[in-house]
Structure 1
Amino acid sequence: MVIGGLGTDAHDPDHMALLVANTAFGGTFSSRLMQEVRAKRGWSYGASSRAGFDRHRDAFTMWTAPAAQDAPACLSLQLGLLEALRRDGITEDELTFVKRYLVRSHAFEIDTARKRVHQKLDELLYDLPEGYHETYLKRIEDVTLEEANAAVRRRISEDDLVIGVVGTHEEIGEAIAAAVPKLAEVKVEPYDLE
């Protein structure tokens, strides 16, 4: 199951703040999404979200893989968690934890010559701001709680989402549709669509 919408562009002034907030929401094993979906309920082995960069505005996405019988409740929970994130934001404790995590884990992003070359290529191929990777740690450390929460409210929508569910429509289709407030459209594709 994938839920997503527009996210951020690396040139947005609040790009890094959104990446930090997203890490608290769904970017680590101790994140809200993982704790609520996997640890507390056991609905999916993995539960994560991503707000990355691309040549143009990249998507914000959440992924889970619940069993068919758990999919509607899992979807409803994820949408509720997203709503709470936009309304309440992340906490100071979450911010402190993820900033420390991102700074400490950064060593694994630059520990080989190949990875460092790939970062240079990223900047060229994705039209990243000059020095995107070189200034990464400082920009992470500079993110404030207010900036992180404002970025979530500004960049992530609850209303313009696309939700993709792999399953049997006859088995879960109605329950999935009922789990989505303000559902605009349902499109069912055959499993063997080419």
Structure 2
Amino acid sequence: MDLHVWFAYVATAIVFSLAPGSGTVNSISNGLSYGTRKSLGAIVGLQIGLAVHIVLVGAGIGALVAQSALAFSIIKWVGAAYLVWLGIQKWRDHSSLTAQGGDHDLSGWSLLRKAILINLANPKSIVFLVALFPQFIDPTKDQVMQILVLGVTTVVIDAIVMFGYTSLASQMGRFIRSERIMGKINKVFGSMFMGCGALLAAAKA
């Protein structure tokens, strides 16, 4: 994988991880309820669930490339359009991100198992990865190595971001709960998603 392609993916993966979702809610909730240290297991759990999705998506993309170059190209175009659509939906989202505290007697292992299930039960991440990965994969090169690089990059970035959310929640939980603040955050990330989709589409023109 070319270095400039990887840097472009890093920027996109950061937007993907920062955008509010179920993993974010879990991280903020844990940060508010248990503090950063006890929540580390939950962050690991989220990454285990994400890694499972990455393996499933990677296997599917590899099979698709082997079967049909045309189908792979169609997926890339649909993926770029999906990013723009996702950005529009995020821009219009005015809901607040309310972090609900859980049972304070949960162990670290319980938090880890809960986090794994949260990501495994979130089909949106699979759809997003299916739309995202083909934009950065060269079908003429080794698929396994490219998917491995993208997968590891995704997990590392998401772990860092979830750690940041958890730490931030323990200090600034009341601001993160604010509907007004979340409305602004949604507009920022909505614009980023639309920009990523537009840039990817323009690059293929």
What's the TM-score bracket when you normalise by the shorter of the two chains?
0.3 to 0.5
Higher strand share: 1
Q: Which has the higher contact order (CA 8 A, sep 6+)?
A: 2
For normalisation by structure 1, the TM-score amounts to 0.33
For normalisation by structure 2, the TM-score amounts to 0.31
